[in-house]
């Protein structure tokens, strides 16, 4: 599994990016590093596949929620920070219950991916939340986003 804080357009542009290659087979993860690691793309390894999967999936829900908060000016930035912080705690709890290692959620596929997806203007999930806050219906949002 290859995951971590990255927007595809920035990777394609050759902008600095760091990812994690997770596999229960450490040698396979190392082969991914050899294949992808370069001057602007850093790839690190992990054997915590469950943690990387949970971090990579659940951060999308929190990105939508953060977009909703960001779309409500009366909520403020304190609410955004609280949502992201408490969200990370919940992601960690879920991951631990599923057998992940806690330290995974402090790395690229946890905190890193969550912060980028929840706050980055290129995040489709954050955009969904922003549009939901404006009162748009989900089908209209998906049509507008084109996916």
Give catalytic residues, as residue numbers: 59
Distances (CA, A) of 27 to 22, 32, 45, 100, 113: 10, 9, 10, 20, 24
**Alpha helices (H) in the chain, listed in sequence order:** 8-12, 26-36, 49-70, 76-97, 113-119, 124-133, 138-145
How is residue 27 written in tokens? Answer: 């040698």
> In terms of Cα–Cα distance, which of 5, 38, 29 is closest to 19?
5
Could you tell me if 24 and 72 are in contact, meaning their C-beta atoms sit under 8 angstroms apart?
no
């Amino acid at each position: 599994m290859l995951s971590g804080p990255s927007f595809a357009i920035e990777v394609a542009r050759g902008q600095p990016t760091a990812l994690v290659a997770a596999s229960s087979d450490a040698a396979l993860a190392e082969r991914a590093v050899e294949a992808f690691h370069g001057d602007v793309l850093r790839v690190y390894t992990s054997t915590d596949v469950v943690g990387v999967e949970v971090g990579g999936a659940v951060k999308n829900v929190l990105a939508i929620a953060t977009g909703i908060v960001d779309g409500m000016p009366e909520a403020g930035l304190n609410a955004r920070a609280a949502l992201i912080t408490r969200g990370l705690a919940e992601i960690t709890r879920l991951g631990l219950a599923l057998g992940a290692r806690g330290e995974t959620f402090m790395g690229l596929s946890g905190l890193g991916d969550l912060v980028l997806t929840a706050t980055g203007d290129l995040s489709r999930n954050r955009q969904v939340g922003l549009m939901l806050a404006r009162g748009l219906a989900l089908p209209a949002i998906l049509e507008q986003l084109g996916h």
